[in-house]
Amino acid sequence: MKIRIQGFQSHKDTEFIIGGGVNAIVGQSGSGKSSILRAIDWVVNNKPSGDDFISHNANKCIVSLSDDNWEVTRVKGKGVNQYRLKIDGENEQVYEGFGKGVVPDIIKRILNIQDFNLRFQHQGPFLVQETSGEVNRYLNRIARLDIIDKAKGNIEFQIKRERTLKTIEEAAVLKVEDQLRCFDSLPEVDSELARIEKFESDIASDIKKYNALLGFWEDGTKLTFDLEKVKPVIRLKDRVVYWMQCNDRLNTVKSQRACLERLKDEGAGFTIEIIRQKAIVSLKARLITQMDLHKTINEIKARKKAISNIADDAARLTEMLVAAKKDLEKAKKEFHALMPDKCPLCGRGGK
């Protein structure tokens, strides 16, 4: 990896290459050895914030990390705060407005350097001086337990969404059931319609009689009839007018019945569709539950294996620490045994 630092603390323009294996940076105090690590941390984690690290004689700070196929550059100065990325010689991409302490996701993926990969001069050994909460977070990331938490959140979201859909479907079913209640009187309507159809047939028969009598009435104007013979015709005419009024009401009832039949057909189709949707939702919920259980079991097995490996590593580290403490005590005793009672140079007490 090639590193170039410009205008960062004591580095005016420093460039070097980190090779494979162990790399050592040697120099006098204040020559900028620790600044190199801080410059890398600035690119990887966007820390520290502010601009106090910019050199006094520079108007901006530029730090670049590059490999054979990519180059990541962090730039900050007056009116400039950017990440720049160039991959395989393509056009340079510029990222701005990413926020304090935030690194664009694509930059994180390319660098693939975590915050615990960087340890500074005055920091203690890794995980030894960290709080229990920090240790748990590191172990979770190593064992990928964060995936389980994310999967749990997704499962809870899916369950909540399915419950919401179920509530909506149940409300729709209740609404349709209320609409279908208005068709409870259809058998009575059918009986009434049969009676009306018979009534209509009687009206048609009376109309025929009326037309025949009307023709007779027109022809009768030329003849002299007895008043008693004319009266039945007049009464029949009034009856025909009444039947015509009844026919108008019959047509209205027929129209209403056709509307009710159409609504009944639509309601029956909608009810079948709701029943089918209920079955689909129920089947989907069962499938999701089984899939989630299978996935959770696999993740728990992986988590158990990772935790077992971590426990083995912790036991080995404990044994190494105990052995190191014994070696340190032994070295102290040997030092005191070899130290004279008085300094041969100044004559002061040695021990």
Domain ranges of the chain: 2-123, 147-332
Angle between helices 227-338 and 145-180 (to 10 degrees): 170
Separation of alpha carbons 198 and 204, rounded Å = 10
On the question of pLDDT at 15 being above 80, the answer is yes
CA 131 to each of CA 27, 32, 127, 134: distance values in angstroms, whole numbers, following the listed order: 33, 30, 8, 5
* Residue 118: per-residue pLDDT: 73
Average pLDDT taken over every residue of the chain: 80
Instruction: Answer whether 45's CB lies under 8 Å from 101's CB.
Output: yes
Instruction: Render pLDDT for 231-257 as a digit per residue (tens, 0 to 9).
Output: 666 677 777 777 777 777 777 877 777
Instruction: Render pLDDT for 267-303 as a digit per residue (tens, 0 to 9).
Output: 666 667 777 777 777 777 777 887 887 788 888 788 7
Question: What average pLDDT does range 112-134 have in this prediction?
Answer: 73
Which CATH superfamily groups domain 2-123?
P-loop containing nucleotide triphosphate hydrolases (3.40.50.300)
* Residue 5: per-residue pLDDT: 95
* Residue 331: per-residue pLDDT: 79
* Residue 87: per-residue pLDDT: 92
Phi, psi of 18 (to 5 degrees): -95, 120
Instruction: Render pLDDT for 74-99 as a digit per residue (tens, 0 to 9).
Output: 999 988 999 999 998 788 999 998 88
Higher pLDDT, 304 or 226: 304
On the question of pLDDT at 102 being above 80, the answer is yes
* Residue 73: per-residue pLDDT: 95
| Residue 337 confidence class, pLDDT cut points 50, 70, 90 | confident
Separation of alpha carbons 137 and 108, rounded Å = 19
Instruction: Render pLDDT for 189-211 as a digit per residue (tens, 0 to 9).
Output: 777 778 888 877 888 887 887 77
Higher pLDDT, 321 or 174: 174
* Residue 24: per-residue pLDDT: 84
* Residue 33: per-residue pLDDT: 87
* Residue 72: per-residue pLDDT: 95
> Which of the residue ranges 72-76, 103-107, 111-115 would you say has the lowest mean pLDDT?
111-115
Q: Is the pTM of this model over 0.75?
A: no
Instruction: Render pLDDT for 135-194 as a digit per residue (tens, 0 to 9).
Output: 777 777 677 666 777 788 889 888 998 999 999 988 888 888 888 777 677 677 777 778
* Residue 222: per-residue pLDDT: 52
Question: What average pLDDT does range 50-73 have in this prediction?
Answer: 91
Structure-token pair, residue 151: 């999967």
On the question of pLDDT at 225 being above 70, the answer is no
